[in-house]
Structure 1
Amino acid sequence: MCTGLPNRRLLTDRLGQGMMRSEHSGKLLAVCSLDLDGFKQINDCFGSASGDAMLIGVAEHLKMALRGDDTLARMGGDEFALLLSDIESPEHCSYVLDQLLRAANRPVNIQDTKLAVTASIGVSLYPDDHGDPDALLRHADQAMYLAKQAGKNRFHLYDPERDRKAQSRRNQLERLRAALDGNQFTLYYQPKVDLRLGTMVGVEALLRWQDPVHGMLAPGEFLPMVIDSDLEQPLGVWVINQAIAQATAWLVEGLDIRVSINVSANQLLYGNFPAILCEALERYPALPAKNIELEILENAAFSDLDQAIDVLAQCERMGVHFALDDFGTGYSSLTYLRKLPIQALKIDQSFVRKMTTDSEDRGIVESVIQLAHTFQLEVVAEGVETQQHAALMQNIGCSIVQGYGIARPMPADDIPAWAKHWNQGIR
């Protein structure tokens, strides 16, 4: 113990005392984890004796910046813990922490050479963070790593509410992983019809979670948790395989329709997406690839547009179709139209729903239809909820529609009977 500072055991005793003092005084106790930035380089370049001298020097500088009731302890290596008592507010804590950062950065004279390091500090404020001693130290340590990730030579305050949300998200993702392993997901399908021909021409596959606790859940209740997580890829692969299997089963029954599958930008740019799609299609050789359509959100933020173009081109060569979904809501519509190999535009339902009462939304819908015709693309209207919507869409040049006014999403087994009734004119 080259610094002569208290160790973890003594720190734990003092932390318990500090928590009781905080409860009686009504003031905050700051539990801090401090790690030196660049200490390893000093050890590597000047030797362990110089490293020990640096630790002693920094410890002395930190002690000089502390008040009488504060505690400084060595946790091992180049990591220290500090207990700052009688903190009036987070702002007061920030002031003290700035002083500690400056103290840690003061040069230390080692072998006639002045050397300096910086520090990263993580802080948990008790009782705002109402944990036990171990939890407070752990939270301070987590905050310290965030300070390092943010660029070092700074402090970071642990946020209990943010941690609660993060923990809730982790728990939800664990339940979703278990749901995927336990076959709790299913696909519903929403029909797309051609009003001019009076036939069903396709369906859109929509994910549902058969949660044993909360029942059947729509994607809006769980998909936001999945986006950007390590579950996004395997769940996306599951959807693709299930939808292709179902399209094949319908074809065998005599129902030859196109099945649309929503695909995120992350999925497309994932290293082997074309291979995943190709493998799924090869598993069902009876199904023509043209019976599969991949829907891409128009406002998807492609981190690499050139890569996205290459991926879509590979998939297009397999024979699948592409549609640009929620068209009109993004910022790069024309760029995508010019560069992506798409065959259809889907007008965002927010415009379609209000077009009967809002002239501006109707103008947007008419412009998208004209744009689609100019590029010789199929155009599909989402959000058709009434007969008035349907009639208006057909009058302005869009005959392919979907929405609650046509049919709600339904289990796969219900689609053939629904299609038969619709095609026979039974509404």
Structure 2
Amino acid sequence: MFSDIFDVAKDVAVTNQYEEIENIRCAFKNDEFVLYYQPKINMRTNQIVGLEALIRWDHPQKGILPPAAFLPVIEQNTLLIELGEWVIKAALNQLSSWSKSGIEMPISVNISPLQLQQTDFVDRLTLIFKSHPHFKAGQIEFEILETSALDDIKIVKSVVEKCHELGVVFSIDDFGTGYSSLTYLKKLPTEYLKIDRSFIRYMLTDHDDRSIVMGIIQLAKTFERTVIAEGVETIAHGEKLLTLGCKLAQGFGISKPMPAKEFPGWLGHWTHNNEWQILSDPE
């Protein structure tokens, strides 16, 4: 009897997942996905050094939904690859649009293990870049989630190296939260490490979190990587990070993710007056 109940529950779960995937597929076909952009700054110079593109679902009934509401559903489905390619193309289109307005700003996008480990990933990426002739080396950065399961690190390393030849830079995202931190750091030729927000949030009051942040910053120096702090919520966090040797930051304290149309106005305000100027060098 219990096995029958279990089988019924399993069937219901599978059916629900199928329906969720189909809903996401329909949303993709109906152009309901959009990119929001969150700035990254150099706290020492007060300059914007780039933007992270973050996908959102502009749901017709529920409004703007974060990636946690839909990406986990398709993490093992080929739809994730289609969506990932759309993100790259949308970011490239945005680069072109901003460039016409005099805004030159590199954009980083999150890349899933499923997409990165496709045998034709580099070939498809090459075709995408060829269809966007305005693309310049260094304008696109791929963020690899540190908790991602990369099946064959040697193959991924080769893919990263080939992407470098195309002008793409890489970062390890959410560094310190998974079991593969040191393996990825040692074997993947990335340019950046992003310290996970969970360590940044309480670093001012929690000695252990502060020690972890210090350790990651030292690791980055040892392996010649540039470190970026995620989840920076206050100027006090920024001040402490600077004393520890971390200049680059991203978080709600600087700006929440925003639609592309809002960024030029935000940038203009930032350039003329922002409270983070207090941390910059007087020179």
Q: Select which of 239, 258, 263 maps to 1:410.
A: 258
1:191 to 2:39 alignment: yes
Distance (whole Å) between structure 1 residues aligned to residue 123 and residue 129 of structure 2: 10
Distance (whole Å) between structure 1 residues aligned to residue 7 and residue 204 of structure 2: 47
**Do the aligned partners of 1:251 and 1:287 also contact (CA within 8 Å) in 2?**
no
Aligned to 2:193: 345
* TM superposition shift of 1:230: 2.3
**Do the aligned partners of 1:204 and 1:261 also contact (CA within 8 Å) in 2?**
yes
Q: CA deviation digits over 1:366-422, x for unaligned, max 9?
A: 111111112221110001011211211122111110111110000011112212221
**Do the aligned partners of 1:327 and 1:348 also contact (CA within 8 Å) in 2?**
yes
Distance (whole Å) between structure 1 residues aligned to residue 166 and residue 78 of structure 2: 27
RMSD: 1.4
1:370 to 2:218 alignment: yes
**Do the aligned partners of 1:298 and 1:326 also contact (CA within 8 Å) in 2?**
yes
In the alignment of these two chains, the number of paired residues is: 275
1:287 to 2:135 alignment: yes
1:392 to 2:240 alignment: yes
Q: Select which of 196, 218, 229 maps to 2:77.
A: 229
Distance (whole Å) between structure 2 residues aligned to residue 363 and residue 306 of structure 1: 31
TM-score when normalising by structure 1: 0.63
Q: Give secondary structure in 1 for the equivalent of 2:246.
A: coil
Letter in 1 for 2:196: D
Matches within 5 A, 1:292-307: 292-307=140-155
Q: CA deviation digits over 1:88-120, x for unaligned, max 9?
A: x54xxxxxxxxxxxxxxxxxxxxxxxxxxxxxx
Distance (whole Å) between structure 2 residues aligned to residue 265 and residue 230 of structure 1: 12
Distance (whole Å) between structure 2 residues aligned to residue 345 and residue 266 of structure 1: 21
* TM superposition shift of 1:332: 2.1
Q: Select which of 27, 48, 54 maps to 1:206.
A: 54
Distance (whole Å) between structure 1 residues aligned to residue 208 and residue 201 of structure 2: 12
Unpaired stretches in structure 2, ≥5 consecutive residues: 276-283
Q: CA deviation digits over 1:319-354, x for unaligned, max 9?
A: 110001000112222222222110000001100011
Distance (whole Å) between structure 2 residues aligned to residue 163 and residue 273 of structure 1: 34
Q: Select which of 252, 255, 258 maps to 2:103.
A: 255
**Do the aligned partners of 1:243 and 1:259 also contact (CA within 8 Å) in 2?**
yes
Unpaired stretches in structure 1, ≥5 consecutive residues: 1-88, 91-122, 129-157
Q: Greater relative contact order: 1 or 2 (C-alpha under 8 angstroms, separation 6 or more)? A: 2
Letter in 2 for 1:345: L
Aligned to 2:279: none
Distance (whole Å) between structure 2 residues aligned to residue 414 and residue 397 of structure 1: 31
TM-score when normalising by structure 2: 0.93
Letter in 1 for 2:64: M
Distance (whole Å) between structure 2 residues aligned to residue 160 and residue 386 of structure 1: 50
Identity of aligned residues (%): 43
Highest CA radius of gyration, 1 or 2? Answer: 1
Distance (whole Å) between structure 1 residues aligned to residue 179 and residue 262 of structure 2: 38
